[in-house]
With several copies, the nearest count.
Chain A
Amino acid sequence: MAHSVYPAVTHTDPSGQTKKDFASDVDPRWCPGCGDYSILAQVQKVLPGLGIPKENYVFVSGIGCSSRFPYYMDTYGIHSIHGRGPAFATGIKSQRPDLSVWLITGDGDGLSIGGNHFIHLMRRNVDVNVLLFNNRIYGLTKGQYSPTSQLGTKAKSTPMGSIDYPLDPIHVALGAGATFVARTLDTHLKHLPEILKRGAEHKGTSFIEIYQNCPIFNDGEFVQLTDKTRREDTTLELEHGKPMRFGKQREKGIVLDGSLNPQVVDVAEVGEDRLMVFDETNEMCSLVVSRLTGPDVPTPIGVMRAVERPTYEHLLNEQLTTAGHAAGKGVQDLLNQGKWVVT
C-alpha cells in the first residue's frame, strides 16, 4: 500500500529561519493594547529556533479574537469553527505525525463550547501545543462573561453579575490527565518564550494557559500579576526540583501545613529546608500547586506538570505497523474473502 501520491519534498533548512519568516503579510486586527500582540510576537520569536522547517508548522484555531492568530503566521493554518479546534488538530496530527501542530484557543472557545474536545485532547495526549489565551471574557462577541470570569462579573449578558462559579483551566487540564500543564503571562517577555519552548519540546499535549489582557472588555484583569513593580510578590515562578520561593528578594516561601494546605512563610524564619520542593513529575505536587489561589498566596506560573506518556499518534502508528505486517497484499485479497465461483 505505498501511498505514492504524496509529494516528495526537500525541506527548507530550519537553521536559517528568522522571526520575519513567520510573519504573514496580513496586518493583525486586534484592538490597540490587546495582549494578543505580545503573544504573537513571542511565538514568532520562538518558532524559528525550534529546528523545525517552517512548512511543517500548522496553526489551528477556533473562533474568537485569539483564534484569528493563524492568519498572522506565515505557516499552514486553519481558522476553524467555534470550540472544535482540538478535533481538527487531532485529525491533522493523527494523519501526519511529521507536522508540528499548534492550537490557539480562548477561554470561551476552549472551555465553553469546546470544553469537551479540550479534555479529550489532553487525555489522548495527542502531540499538540495548546495555547489558551485566557482574558476571562468573550472578546470577539463584544463582552459577555466566559467560563473563567470571576463570580459576580458584570458583563453584557450578566448585568447583575455572573452567578456561575468559574472553571480554572489548569484544574480542568489536570483533571483530564494532561501530561504537560503550564501557565504564563502575555507580557512577561522573559517567561512566556521559555514556556513556549518547553511546551514545544514536550512530546504529547502541552497545555499552556496564558493570562491575556483584553483592554476593551476586561481591562486590568491580571494587572497585579503583570505589573512589573508587583510581579515578583504576586507570582511564584515554579522551578522543577527547587524549593518554592518568591518575592523581590525571594524572601518568601511556601510550606504545606498539616491539612496539606499551602501557606506563605518567611524563609528567613522557617529555613529553606522546610519549604515545599516543586516536582513537576509528581502529580500530588502539581495538584497542590494548582490550587494556590486567593489574595494571600502568590499565583504560580511556569510548568506545573510535565510527565512522559506515549502519544496518541505514536500508538496509532504502532498499530498500523503491527497490522501491516500481518495484513494481506491489498484490497483485492480482502474482497476475495469468502468467495465462491459460479461457472
Chain B
Amino acid sequence: MEKGHYRKMDKAVQTVETVAIRFAGDSGDGMQLTGTQFSDTTALAGNDLATFPDFPAEIRAPAGSLAGVSGFQINFSSVAVHTPGDQPDVLVAMNPAALRVNLPDLRHGGILIANSEQFTKKNLKRAGYEANPLEDGTLKNYRVFSADITGMTLKSIEELRLNTRAAVRCKNFFALGLVYWLYNRDMAHTEGWINNKFKEPLLAQANLRALRAGYNFGETTEMFEQHYEVQRAQIEPGVYRSITGNEALGLGFLAAAELSGLGLFLGSYPITPASDILHFLARHKGLGVRTFQAEDEIAAACAAIGAAYAGGLALTTTSGPGLALKAEAIGLAHILEVPLVIVDVQRGGPSTGLPTKTEQADLMQALFGRNGEAPVPVVAPQSAGDCFYTAIEACRIAIRYMTPVLLLSDGYIANSSEPWPIPDMSKIPPIDVQFRTDPEGYMPYQRDKRGARPWAIPGVPGLEHRIGGLEKEDLTGDISYDPQNHERMVKLRSEKVMNVAADLPPTEVFGDESGTLVVGWGSTFGAIRAGVQQMRARGHKIAHVHLRHLHPFKRDLSDVIGRYERVLVPELNNGQLVKLLRSAFLVDAVSLPKIEGQPYKEREIVEALATHLEAN
C-alpha cells in the first residue's frame, strides 16, 4: 500500500526539550489507541517518555457525558523523563466534556486543539457549559486551535463511500496526523500498524487517508505558524520496546517459569485493573502456561495452592477486593509453606471504590490482612518495566523460601507504558528448584539453613505425606496441639520470612547523605525521584530511598534512616508505610498523603516537600 504521501514541510521548526500531550475524548473516540500510536512513534524517534492512560469508570457512560471522558497522556523529552508529566502542554479535546474535564490541567499558554464539530448545544449542555467556551473568551489563556475535525475527516475519505458511522470513527486518526505534524514526527510506524490492523482494505485506506489529511491540514492551515521538534534523548544504546506494567508482569512470570523449568499456573478471577495479566497469560499457553478463570477469587487462590503442591509455579492475580477474599487462602499457604505468588494490582478503595483509578492503600492489608500470625514477604515494583524484574524476584523468593509472596502493583503502572530495554534472558540467573525425591529421612517440615522446608510433590514414591491448616509438629508436620511447639512454629515461620532480607543488596540511596530523606514505595518512584531532583537543584540537602521490599525491610534500612534528620513519606493512601517505618525505627516520619485516585505529580511532590523543608 502507498506510504508517505503527505506534504513536504516548509513551516518553521522550533526545538523544545520536553512536551506533554493529552489526548482526550469520549470513551468511544479511540483516545487510548491514538495515545499508544503516538507513544510508539515517539519511542522509535528516540525520545525518553512515559505515558498515563486514565480510563473512565468501568461501565460505559452516555456519549458526551463528563463521566465518559477517556484520556491518555504522554510526556516525551530529549532528557530523562520520570513521569507522564504534570501539566500537559497540548490538549486534544474531541468534545466539550473532554475539554471541561481536562482543561484545569492544561498549562497556561498551552495548545488546545478542539474538534469544533462536537461543540453543539446538546453536547455543551451535557458537559455543563452554558456557553461555547471556544467562543466566549474562556480560553484566552491558551493557544486555541479549533477545527472541524469530524468534517475534515469525512471530506478526506468521501470517495471511499464508507457508511457515516464507520467514517466518523476515523477522526481520531485525523487528530493523530495533526499532532504528528505539530511535533514533526514520521508516520511510518502508524501507517504500518493501520495496514496490519484493519483486515478490511477499505477501512485501512480510510484511516490512512484521515491520518494524512490531519498531517496535511497542519502543514497548510494558517492556524499553525510553526511546529516543534523534540530531539533524541541520550538513551543508553540497546534494544528497546514499549511496555506496560501488566505486560511486564506477565512476561516476568513467563520468564520465571523458563528460568525455573517449572510449568506456570495462573488461577484468577477477572477484576479491573488486574484482568489484563490473565488475558496476557491466556494467550501464551504455547509456553506451557495453564490459566484457570475460577468462579471467584477464593477458588483462584486455592487452585493455585493446589497447583503449587503439585509442583507448578503458582500464581494468582487480583485487585484490592479480591485480595480481601483471598486472605484465608493466603493464611493456609503460609502455614502449609508452599510457594505461591499473589499479585494485587491496587485500585482506589475502600470497597468497590474507584475501580479504574490508582491507589496504594492495600499495603496494610497485604502485610496484616489474615487471621493469626501469618507474615509473608511483600514486594512492590516501581515502574512498568520494573514489574518484569519484580515478578521474577517474587517467584525466586517464593520458591527459595517455600512461602507465599505478595506483589503490590497498582492501576497506574499496570496501564502506563515506557520504553524499556529488553532484557537478555541468558543473563538472568536461573531459579534453582530442588524437588525432594529421596525418601530416606524425609520429614515434610524439616528446614534448610534458610528455614525453608523441602518441596515434595505427588507422584514421587515414598514421600507420601499430608499437609493442612492445623498447627503442625516441628519437623514431622503431624498435627500438634502442644503449646511450646505452636510458639516455636509461629516463630520459625516468621523468622523464615525475615530471612528473605539476608539475600538482599544494600539500600540504594539517591542524593545527599544527610538532611531530609524521602521514602517511597511502588509506583510513585518517578514523581518522587523527579521531585527530589528539583529540590536538590533548589539547594536542599535531600535524598530519596525507594522501597521494593515492604516486608521484610532490608537490614540496613534502619542505619540509612538513622542518618537523616527528617523523614518524609509520600504515599497514595492515608499514611500506611509511614506507620510501618515509625513502628520499626521509632522515627518521627511524616506522611505526605494523596488520596485522589491519581498518581502523584512531580509538582505536587515538590510542593509537599517544600511545605516541610521551606517552612522551617
> Contacts A90-B306, A320-B288; is A120 near B295 (CB within 8 Å)?
yes
B458 touches A340 (CB 8 A): no
In this complex, what residue of B is CB-closest to A113? Answer: B296
CB neighbours of A112 from chain B (8 A): 269, 295-296
Report the stretch among A38-46, A64-72, A228-236, A245-253 that lies at the interface.
Answer: A64-72
List B contacts of A75 (CB < 8 A).
464
Which of A138-146, A219-227, A259-267, A284-292 touches B? Answer: A138-146
Question: Chain A 6-26, CB within 8 Å of chain B: the 1/0 string?
Answer: 110111100000000000101
Residues in A32-64 with C-beta less than 8 Å from chain B? 32, 53-60, 63
Q: Which of A61-104 contact B (CB under 8 A)?
A: 63, 65, 68, 70-71, 73-84, 86-92, 94-96, 98-99
A216 to B301, CA, bound (A): 30
A141 touching B461, Cβ below 8 Å: no
Interface of B is mostly: mixed
Q: Which of B44, B58, B299 is within 8 Å of A117, CB to CB?
A: B299
Q: List residues of chain B with CB under 8 Å of any chain A CB.
A: 40, 43-44, 46, 57-63, 65, 67, 235-242, 251, 254-255, 257-258, 260-263, 265, 267-272, 275, 278-279, 282-312, 314, 321, 328-329, 332, 336, 351-352, 422-426, 433, 435, 437, 457-470, 478-479
Given contact pairs A7-B460, A88-B303, A336-B241, A95 touches B312 in the complex (Cβ within 8 A): yes
A-chain residues with CB within 8 Å of residue B470 when the two chains form the complex: 79
A268 at the interface (CB under 8 A from B): no
Flag if B302 contacts A80 (CB, 8 Å). Answer: yes
Contact B459 A55 (CB under 8 A): yes
Q: Is the CB of B425 within 8 A of A63?
A: no
Contacts of B265 in A (CB 8 A): 91, 94-95
- On whether the beta carbons of A79 and B469 are closer than 8 Å, the reply is yes
Which of B278, B283, B293 has the most CB atoms of chain A within a 10 A radius of its CB?
Answer: B293
Question: How distant is the Cα of A33 from the Cα of B265 in the complex, in angstroms?
Answer: 38
Point out the residues of chain B lying under 8 angstroms from A63, CB to CB. 352, 469
A91 to B267 CA separation, bound complex (whole angstroms): 8
Q: Is A29 touching B255 in the complex (CB atoms < 8 A)?
A: no
Distance in angstroms from A163 CB to nearest chain B CB is: 10
A70 to B467, CA, bound (A): 9
CB distance from B347 to the nearest CB of A (A): 12
Given contacts A90-B306, A91-B303, A343-B237, contact A141 B270 (CB under 8 A): yes
With the chains together, A83 CA to B336 CA distance in Å? 17
With A and B bound together, what is the CA distance between A87 and B316 in angstroms?
13
Which A residues lie within 8 Å of B279 (CB)? 144, 156-157, 159
Q: Are B468 and A80 in contact (CB under 8 A)?
A: yes
Contacts of A1 in B (CB 8 A): 257-258, 287-288
A113 touches B458 (CB 8 A): no
Q: Which residue of B254, B352, B462 contacts A334 across the interface (Cβ within 8 Å)?
A: B254
User: Which B residues lie within 8 Å of A328 (CB)?
Assistant: 286
| Closest 5 A/B residue pairs (Cβ) | A327-B286, A91-B306, A79-B468, A91-B303, A323-B286
Q: List residues of chain B with CB within 8 A of the CB of A60.
A: 306
Contacts of B283 in A (CB 8 A): 159
Say how far B370's CB is from chain A's closest CB, in angstroms: 12
Collect the chain A residues with CB atoms within 8 Å of residue B352's CB.
63, 81
A146 → chain B closest CB, angstroms? 9
Bound-state CA distance A337–B280 (Å) is 14
Kindly state the separation between the CA atoms of A26 and B466 in the bound complex, as whole angstroms.
Answer: 11
Return A114 CB to nearest CB of chain B, in Å. Answer: 8
A141 x B63 contact (CB < 8 A): no
**Please, which residues of chain A bring their CB within 8 A of the CB of B469?**
63, 79-81
Q: Select B309's contact among A7, A92, A159, A325, beta carbons within 8 Å.
A: A92
Contact A6 B466 (CB under 8 A): no
**Which chain B residues border A11 with CB–CB below 8 Å?**
459, 461
Known contacts A2-B261, A30-B59; A94/B290 CB under 8 A = yes
Question: B281's closest neighbor in chain A, by CB?
Answer: A157
- Taking a contact as CB atoms under 8 Å apart, the answer to whether A9 and B461 are in contact is yes
Contacting residues, chain A, for B311 (C-beta < 8 A):
6, 95-96
CB-defined interface of A155-168 with B at 8 Å, one 1/0 digit per residue?
Answer: 01111100010000
A2 to B306: give the CA distance in the assembly, Å.
Answer: 22
Are B240 and A27 in contact (CB-based, < 8 A)?
no
Q: A159-B283, A340-B44 are in contact. List 10 more A-B contacts (CB 8 A).
A: A3-B288, A56-B458, A68-B59, A141-B272, A159-B279, A159-B282, A327-B284, A337-B241, A340-B241, A341-B239
